[in-house]
Chains A and B, each alone.
Chain A
Amino acid sequence: MNKPIIRLDKIVKAYGTHTVLDGLSMDVKAGEKIALIGPSGSGKTTILRILMTLESISGGTIEVDGDYLYHMKDASGALVPANEAHMHRMREKIGMVFQHFNLFPHKNVLDNVTLAPILTKGVARAEAEKRAMELLEMVGLADKARHMPAQLSGGQKQRVAIARALALSPKIMLFDEVTSALDPELVEEVLNVMRRLGEETDMTMLLVTHEMGFAHDFADRVLFFDRGRIVEEGPPDAIFRNPKEERTQNFLRKIIAAGHRV
């Protein structure tokens, strides 16, 4: 069996006295599509943010693609905190799409997608633009390349944000509640793009979502989180149709009562 592409080992994350993650361990296999579900404040978004190095960790280790994310080995082989250069190298492997898109408002759509490859990978502008147009084509927005983000709908912005993250060709993509800020009629266009990504690429994908129907169809594995722990995990059918834990059952009941389909 292959080595996992992501391995979290006894991760602790605390804000002052408030512990969000308390010794969390989990493995993700290369190419796996994982849905993280659970009540808000259960730590699922924190995991994505930690993997993107937007938050630091208070304890434990993370390995991504065979290398430590927050640590490095010094001359004697001892594990020491990683320096910025190491983190910079590691971040190349990971891309993230945010709930609120976070497009650069002063750059047009094409520049939003090409800026990172040009700046961080030294890709020539012409080549970066060619690749960006392919990606915009894939998300159905090639005709909006010269538009400013403010001229786009929420669904279009999010599709640009997906293209922007893909432009760096990460091995791992993190999707943090990417449809939560969208009007209901715009959710589907974003989910369709993600479906295509899932089918056409072998990228490892982790998504935090409240779209249970999508999680069911999309994920290879579903993790149910509560209070910083994985309460239950398994294939989508097992979690959604036949949850064993009472907390999972309660959560799914509430979600369905709130109008989400499963």
Chain B
Amino acid sequence: MTDWAGYIGLIIDGAFVTLSLTLCGSAVALVAAFLAGLGRLSRFTAVRALAVTYVEFFRGTSIFVQLFWVYFVLPLFDISLSPFQAGVLVLGLNVGAYGAEVVRGAIKSVPREQFEACIALNFTQYQRMRYIILPQALPLMLPTFGNNAIELLKATAVVSLISLSDMTFQAQIVRAQTGNTFVPFLTILVLYFIMSTVISRAIGLYEKRITRGLDGVRS
């Protein structure tokens, strides 16, 4: 008889690694998305070019290859990151590249007339973004941000390849030690699903909160 309690404990440990990766990765992704998304709308050509390069590079290469570069190739240039740091960085930058397009699209969908009203009222560029444009663009970004966060959660499994003991990694250990595939993989299936449901609910609630009183605005 297999001692499942101990093995499930291993998977739970992995679940915490997955959770930390998702939270930290999402934080990096959010910052990267806003920097690159706003950067793509900059009036400075160099800033726009930098943002486009970042987005195209991270969207156009696989997360697996990016991870190997950051973890195994960068040390050759004397930049060493822990597996967790490397994982957070790659996940964040990768998903942030997709998020940047969401930020840009949402800002561009705010009607031009809102920008013009801001000029007529003599707001600075910063005030215009902070008080008028972003508050209207944010509700448009949130549903896609939710999708991106769930994509990031699922992509965390790839870090097992650089020996980080996330949930998937642990499930494979359990499978190797017990010879049983069904139990560990059913466990992580359920855990992934619970986590993604929580993310999607949380985003949904936040969306509701910030759009309160705005019913019928976008008619």
Residues of A within 8 A of B216 (CB): 150
- Cβ of A10 within 8 Å of any chain B Cβ, yes or no, is no
Identify which of A54, A104, A105 contacts B116 (C-beta below 8 A): A54
Most buried by B among A88, A149, A150: A150
Q: When chains A and B are docked, how far (Å) is the Cα of A95 from the Cα of B127?
A: 18
- Cβ of B114 within 8 Å of any chain A Cβ, yes or no, is yes
Q: A88-B124, A106-B135, A150-B216 are in contact. Are A52 and B114 (CB under 8 A)?
A: no
The residue of chain A having its C-beta at the shortest distance from the C-beta of B138 within the complex is A106
The residue of chain A having its C-beta at the shortest distance from the C-beta of B124 within the complex is A88
Residues of B within 8 A of A94 (CB): 120
CB–CB B120/A95 < 8 A? yes
- Cβ of A96 within 8 Å of any chain B Cβ, yes or no, is yes
Binary per-residue interface labels of chain B (96-139) against chain A in the complex, 1 for a CB within 8 Å, 0 otherwise: 00000000000000000110110111111001000110011000
Q: When chains A and B are docked, how far (Å) is the Cα of A103 from the Cα of B111?
A: 11
Q: Mark out the residues of chain A between 67 and 118 whose CB falls within 8 Å of any chain B CB in the assembled complex.
A: 88, 91-92, 94-96, 98, 100, 102-106, 115-116
Identify which of B131, B213, B219 contacts A119 (C-beta below 8 A): B131
Q: A54-B116, A98-B113, A104-B117 are in contact. Are A116 and B214 (CB under 8 A)?
A: no
Residues of A within 8 A of B213 (CB): 148
Residues of A within 8 A of B217 (CB): 105-106, 148-150
CB–CB B136/A105 < 8 A? yes
Residues of B within 8 A of A54 (CB): 116, 119-120
The residue of chain A having its C-beta at the shortest distance from the C-beta of B126 within the complex is A119
- Cβ of B3 within 8 Å of any chain A Cβ, yes or no, is no
Most buried by A among B114, B122, B127: B122
- Cβ of A162 within 8 Å of any chain B Cβ, yes or no, is no
**Interface residues contributed by chain B, number (CB under 8 Å):** 22
CB–CB A102/B117 < 8 A? yes
Residues of A within 8 A of B116 (CB): 52, 54, 98, 102
Q: When chains A and B are docked, how far (Å) is the Cα of A84 from the Cα of B121?
A: 14
CB–CB B119/A102 < 8 A? no
Residues of A within 8 A of B124 (CB): 88, 120
Identify which of B120, B122, B131, B214 contacts A150 (C-beta below 8 A): B214
CB–CB A120/B135 < 8 A? no
- Cβ of B215 within 8 Å of any chain A Cβ, yes or no, is yes
Identify which of A52, A105, A115, A164 contacts B119 (C-beta below 8 A): A52
Residues of A within 8 A of B123 (CB): 116, 119-120
Interface of B with A (CB < 8 Å)?
A: 113-114, 116-117, 119-124, 127, 131-132, 135-136, 213-219
Interface of A with B (CB < 8 Å)?
A: 52-54, 88, 91-92, 94-96, 98, 100, 102-106, 115-116, 119-120, 148-150, 164-165, 168
Given contacts A119-B127, A120-B121, 12 further A-B contacts (CB under 8 A): A52-B120, A54-B119, A91-B119, A102-B113, A103-B117, A104-B132, A115-B121, A115-B131, A150-B214, A150-B217, A164-B121, A168-B122
